[in-house]
A = this chain, B = another copy of it.
Amino acid sequence: VKAVVALEGLPIEALPTPAALVDRDRLEANCRRMRARCDALGVRLRPHLKTAKCVEVAALSGDVGAVSTLEEAAWFLERGGPGDLVYARGVTPRDLPRVRALREAGLDLAILVDDLDVARAVREAALGDVAWIEVDSGQGRGGVRPEAAALLDIGRVLERPRGVLTHAGQSYGARGADALRAVAETERAAAVGAAERLREAGVPCPEVSVGSTPTLTHAAHLDGVTEARAGVYVFGDLFQASLGSCRLEDLALSVLTRVVSRGPDHVWVDAGALALSQDRSLAAFGDAGYGWVCDLQGRRIAGARVDVVNQAHGRVVGLGEAPPVGTPLRVLPVHACHTAAMHGVYGVVEGGEVVEQWTRLRG
C-alpha cells in the first residue's frame, strides 16, 4: 500500500483523485506553436521551466531554459534536464557559491542582477560574464529602469554581462489585442534601449531577452531582441485564454477529481486548494472561480465551476442535478503554474488512458 500509486496504463476513470492530467497532443501542439512563433519573430525560445517543472516537458523545447529557484536548477541537473539555464530571479550574494558549484558540475547556469552591491559580489565571484542585467519594463518587480544611471554602473562592474533581460508582467493586467501589443512593444523597447545604452557606454551586451506568454503571442515584432522567455504556454489556462494567448481547446492541464458529497445545489469534490491552488487572478475579469468543470472526457459543462476551495475540498456549482458520489470530473485551471505546482506527478493522457507518468518538482 504505497502512498504514490503507479498511474501508467490505467484508464483515467480508474485513477486515484485528485490527479493532474496532461493531454499529450495539446501539450505538443502548444510547444510547436510557440516554437513556430519564435521562429517567425526571429528569436531563440527560452522556455521558463517553472510552469511544468518536468524534464519531459522541458525536452519538448530543446536544451535551454529559465528557472525561478536554484532548487529547480539543481533538480534539473540531477535529472539530465536542459544544460543552459538562466536563474531568472535576482541573485543574492549568498547564492553565489551554489551557483558556482552548479556551474562546476556542468550546468551552464546564468544569473540575474539589478543591484550595484550585488554586481560587485558577482564580479568578486568571477561570475560577471554569466550575469544578465535585469531591466524593469514597467512591472516594477525588480530590475533597473532602462534610463537609470544604475544600468551603466552595473554594466561597468560586471564588465562583460551576457545581456539584458526583462519581463513585462503587467501584461497580465492588460486586456485586448491592442493593449497587449502595446505592452509587448514597451517590453521590447525597454530591453533594446537598455542594451543600446550599455553598448554606447562601451559595455558589451550581446543578448537581449524579453518575454511572457501574452507579450510573445501579441508582439508585432521583436527587432533587436535575441531571445524570448515564456512558461505557461505549454499548458495554457483560463487566464491565458482570457488574454487570447490560447484557445480553450488548447488547455493541456486539468485536474481529475471525484464527487465526495452532494448538496442541494452543489457538490463537494476531492480537489481543493491543495489540488487546484487558491489562485483567483481571473476574479477581476470574469467568473471562473477556481476553475471550470468538465466531464471525464474533458468536455466543458456550461456554467459549472469550482466556487469555493478549502484545503482538501472544492465546491462545484452549476452542474444541475447533483451527480452521485464518486462521479469523476475534470477541472480546467485558472493559472496552470500554480495548479501544476500542487502535484508531484503528471498523468500523461492519450485516448482516455494514462500512457506515461512524468515526475515533476513539487512546489
Q: Footprint of B on A, CB under 8 Å?
A: 1-4, 16, 50, 68-72, 74-75, 77-78, 89-94, 98, 101-102, 105, 114-115, 117-118, 134, 140-143, 169, 258-263, 268, 270, 273-274, 277-280, 310-313, 315, 324-326, 337-338, 341-344, 361-363
Question: Which 9 pairs of residues, A with B, have the shortest CB-CB distance?
Answer: A142-B261, A90-B260, A68-B312, A3-B75, A3-B74, A92-B326, A278-B278, A90-B261, A362-B362
A3-B71, A75-B3, A311-B68 as given contacts; A326 in contact with B94, CB under 8 Å: yes
A268–B141 CB distance below 8 A: yes
B273–A338 CB distance below 8 A: yes
From residue A108, how far is it (CB to closest CB) to chain B in Å? 14
Partner of A258, one of B94, B259, B273: B94
B74–A2 CB distance below 8 A: yes
Partner of A92, one of B68, B169, B258: B258
Query: Which one of A50, A311, A315 has the highest number of Cβ atoms from chain B below 10 Å of its Cβ?
Result: A311
From residue A149, how far is it (CB to closest CB) to chain B in Å? 15
B260–A92 CB distance below 8 A: yes
Would you list 22 pairs from A and B whose C-beta atoms are within 8 A, ordered by A residue? A1-B101, A2-B78, A3-B74, A3-B75, A4-B71, A69-B270, A89-B313, A92-B325, A94-B326, A115-B261, A118-B325, A134-B261, A140-B263, A141-B261, A141-B313, A277-B278, A278-B279, A278-B280, A278-B338, A311-B338, A342-B363, A344-B363
- Bound together, the chains give a CA A342 to CA B278 distance in angstroms of 12
List, in ascending order, chain B residues with CB within 8 A of A93's CB: 325-326
List, in ascending order, chain B residues with CB within 8 A of A310's CB: 141, 169
Please, which residue of chain B has its CB at the minimum distance from the CB of A313?
A: B141
- Bound together, the chains give a CA A324 to CA B74 distance in angstroms of 26
Partner of A114, one of B69, B98, B261, B344: B261
List, in ascending order, chain B residues with CB within 8 A of A4's CB: 71
Given A2-B78, A90-B261, A142-B268, 14 more pairs with CB closer than 8 A: A3-B72, A3-B74, A50-B312, A68-B311, A89-B312, A114-B261, A115-B261, A115-B262, A118-B326, A142-B260, A142-B263, A273-B338, A274-B363, A278-B279
